[in-house]
């Protein structure tokens, strides 16, 4: 504070998941400007500085289905990693069936439905011989050495496949890791069933991908800067994973996933199988003996 100026400040989340609270800071700033426009306070102008802390409030997570009414597991701690599921709720039994590097989830408890009304065949298929409901998801431990840290979602059982050498591929794991390794990518579909290697069909995030473009106004899917950036990202990714998780090629898709064609589920999740079926032509280009220019080899 001086004879001509009053210095004040505040900390608000102007960006991030709590950005709506940042409206308070914007309101304070506007109020200070209005005071200064009227001459300040007793002739002294107010110097107002607001800092953005991008506050992210603690989050809890849960896991369940309609058939489990609806809870299977929850966290009782703040979560920081997408896909965390927590631990089974009291009275709920969770059976883990080995499925490659992950586990198939099956659940039994008082919260689980007894069956589908008027659907005896569906009911029979939904439960195993011990009465556990087949959820259809694959999960793994956040920390295998410390199960108390909970479980995490890795994908759907129906998505996983084997390479030509018989090695199981956990699609959910690769998808999550590949997305984390490639800024500028909106989503990916993992291909490779009965093939020699894994590849990805990719949709770009136009805003983020544009940051790496060599041509400001060109087609991002053909831009050499974007392609080179993604190649390098995936090469780096490949150095940190096992052979069955390496991505050896990718192609960039022009058409977005189609809800009408079943490529997006009602939970806004990409249906990997549907995309691979509907876009079989693009997938075959990847595994051609002489890949065309639409296929980028890592």
Query: Please, which residues have CB within 8 angstroms of residue 59's CB and are 6 or more apart in sequence?
Result: 78, 79, 80
Residue-by-residue DSSP string for 81-118 = STTEEEEEPTT-EEEEEEETTEEEEEEESTTS-S--TT
Class of domain 62-158 (CATH, top level): mainly beta
Mean pLDDT in residue range 226-241: 96
Topology agreement, domain 62-158 and domain 160-297: no
Q: Is the pTM here over 0.85, yes or no?
A: no
For 130-148, the pLDDT digits (tens) are 999 999 999 999 999 999 9
- Least reliable range by pLDDT among 108-117, 210-219, 259-268: 259-268
Contact by Cβ (8 Å): 295, 264: no
Domain locations along the chain: 5-52, 62-158, 160-297
For 27-48, the pLDDT digits (tens) are 888 899 999 999 999 889 999 8
CATH fold of 160-297: GMP Synthetase; Chain A, domain 3 (3.30.300)
Q: What angle do CA 223, 241, 213 make, to 5 degrees?
A: 15
Phi-psi region at 165: left, alpha or beta (left = phi > 0; alpha = psi -120 to 50):
alpha
pLDDT band at 267 (very low <50, low <70, confident <90, very high): low
């Amino acid at each position: 504070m001086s004879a001509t100026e009053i210095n004040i400040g505040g900390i608000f989340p102007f960006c991030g998941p709590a950005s709506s609270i940042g409206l308070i800071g914007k309101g304070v700033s506007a109020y200070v400007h209005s005071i200064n426009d009227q001459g300040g306070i007793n002739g002294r102008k107010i110097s107002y500085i607001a800092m953005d802390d991008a506050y992210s409030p603690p989050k809890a997570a849960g896991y369940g289905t309609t058939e489990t009414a609806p809870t299977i597991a929850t966290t009782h701690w703040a979560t920081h990693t997408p896909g965390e599921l927590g631990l089974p709720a009291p009275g709920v039994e969770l059976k883990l069936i080995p499925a490659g590097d992950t586990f198939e989830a099956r659940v039994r408890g008082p919260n689980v439905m007894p069956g589908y009304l008027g659907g005896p065949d569906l009911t029979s298929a939904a439960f195993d011989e011990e009465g556990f409901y087949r959820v259809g998801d694959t999960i793994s431990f956040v920390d295998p050495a410390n199960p108390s840290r909970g479980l995490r979602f890795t994908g759907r059982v129906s998505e996983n496949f084997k390479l030509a050498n018989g090695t199981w591929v956990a699609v959910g794991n690769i998808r999550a890791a590949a997305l984390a390794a490639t800024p500028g990518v909106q989503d990916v579909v993992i291909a490779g069933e009965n093939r020699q290697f894994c590849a990805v069909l990719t949709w770009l995030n136009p805003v983020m991908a544009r940051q790496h473009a060599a041509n400001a106004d060109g087609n991002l899917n053909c831009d050499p800067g974007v392609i080179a950036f993604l190649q390098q990202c995936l090469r780096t990714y490949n150095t940190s994973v096992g052979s069955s998780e390496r991505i050896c090629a990718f192609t960039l898709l022009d058409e977005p996933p189609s809800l009408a064609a079943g490529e997006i589920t009602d939970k806004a999740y990409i249906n990997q199988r549907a995309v691979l079926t509907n876009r079989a032509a693009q997938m075959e280009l990847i595994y051609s003996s002489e890949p065309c220019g639409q296929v980028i080899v890592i």
